[in-house]
């Protein structure tokens, strides 16, 4: 069994992004700019935004966080996004989800300029992904593909079972795998007999937020496991959606939690933002 070390790969990618930032600065005098919208006081969201800010500082990005109260109005967020769309120093805009119930999340995501949509959530970029065209791809599934490539795992022709059908992870994950010529099956909360589907899979990719959802008897020998879930167990430890202790013995490859997919998400955000800055500079000149 081989661990897919996302932490090590993310550090390698970060070094590459840092080199790209220096090259862009020497050529243009500017650095990539990332703006984050954080609404409310959710501790997990605040911690995640703080990690992104530190990563931006490490690679030399300009970054700003717009912190807004929980009772913020739709109009106020929209006005901030319009301002960021017009700001030439901002190359990437990230809306930290989830947003409060009074906010229409779809309208907010659609308002972000697609050329600054480094999270890949705008329908324009979603459509380009679905049709196999270049565009910004959601960072978590993109990080999974980078991790598979790093360990020379070719998904072409493999049976891939994606467990979870969210717009942020499951659907774009399935699209990326399909674009790479994998045979893809998507399972979700209404799937009957999940075990029947996972037992047929060469690669299982799961991200639903349910501790120990994937158990030893649901996995065949030699399966590759990509655990995208992250949960806080009763003892305070961070764990994934896979019963790691028992499942790992049957796997050829598996991602640890933490240290697997998580670090790759931020690495891909940095990579997407650098790419946006490079494209924006070319279009301005």
Closest to 24 measured CA to CA, from 64, 63, 62: 62
Q: Specify burial of residue 232 (Cβ count, 10 A radius: 0-12, 13-18, 19+).
A: exposed
Could you say which of 52, 116, 158, 171 is catalytic? 52
Where do we find the tokens 């979603």? 126
Choosing from 91, 96, 117, 158, which is the catalytic residue?
96
CA 35/CA 154 separation, integer angstroms: 35
- Residue position matching structure tokens 């990332």: 34
| Identified catalytic residue from 91, 113, 117, 119 | 119
Q: Return d(Cα 214, Cα 247) in angstroms, integer.
A: 8
Do residues 213 and 242 touch, judged by C-beta distance below 8 A? yes
Pairing type for strands 33-39 and 92-95 reads parallel
Two tokens, residue 7: 């932490």
Quick check: is 52 catalytic? yes
Q: Tell me how long the chain is.
A: 285
| Whether 21 contacts 61, CB under 8 Å | yes
Q: Looking at the annotation, which residues are catalytic?
A: 52, 96, 119
């Amino acid at each position: 069994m081989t661990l897919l070390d996302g932490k090590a790969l993310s550090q390698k990618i970060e070094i590459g992004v840092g080199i790209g930032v220096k090259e862009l600065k020497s050529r243009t005098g500017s650095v990539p700019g990332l703006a984050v919208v954080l609404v409310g006081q959710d501790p997990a969201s605040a911690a995640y935004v703080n990690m992104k800010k530190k990563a931006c500082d490490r690679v030399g990005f300009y970054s700003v966080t717009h912190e807004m109260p929980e009772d913020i109005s739709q109009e106020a967020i929209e006005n901030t996004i319009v301002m960021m769309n017009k700001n030439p120093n901002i190359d990437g805009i990230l809306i930290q989800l989830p947003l409060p119930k009074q906010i229409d999340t779809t309208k907010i995501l659609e308002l972000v300029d697609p050329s600054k949509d480094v999270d890949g959530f705008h329908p324009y970029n979603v459509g380009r992904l679905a049709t196999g065209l270049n565009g910004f791809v959601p960072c978590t599934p993109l990080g999974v593909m980078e991790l598979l490539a790093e360990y020379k795992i070719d998904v072409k022709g493999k049976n891939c079972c994606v467990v979870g059908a969210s717009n942020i992870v499951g659907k774009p994950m399935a699209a990326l795998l399909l674009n790479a010529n994998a045979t893809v099956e998507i399972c979700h909360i209404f799937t009957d007999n999940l075990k029947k589907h996972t037992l047929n899979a060469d690669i299982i990719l799961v991200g639903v937020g349910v501790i120990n959802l994937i158990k030893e008897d649901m996995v065949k020998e030699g399966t590759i496991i990509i655990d995208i879930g992250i949960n806080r167990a009763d003892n305070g430890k961070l764990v994934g959606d896979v019963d790691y202790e028992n499942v790992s013995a049957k796997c050829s490859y598996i991602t640890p939690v933490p240290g697997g997919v998580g670090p790759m998400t931020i690495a891909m955000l940095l990579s997407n933002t650098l790419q946006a800055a490079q494209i924006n500079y070319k279009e301005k000149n």
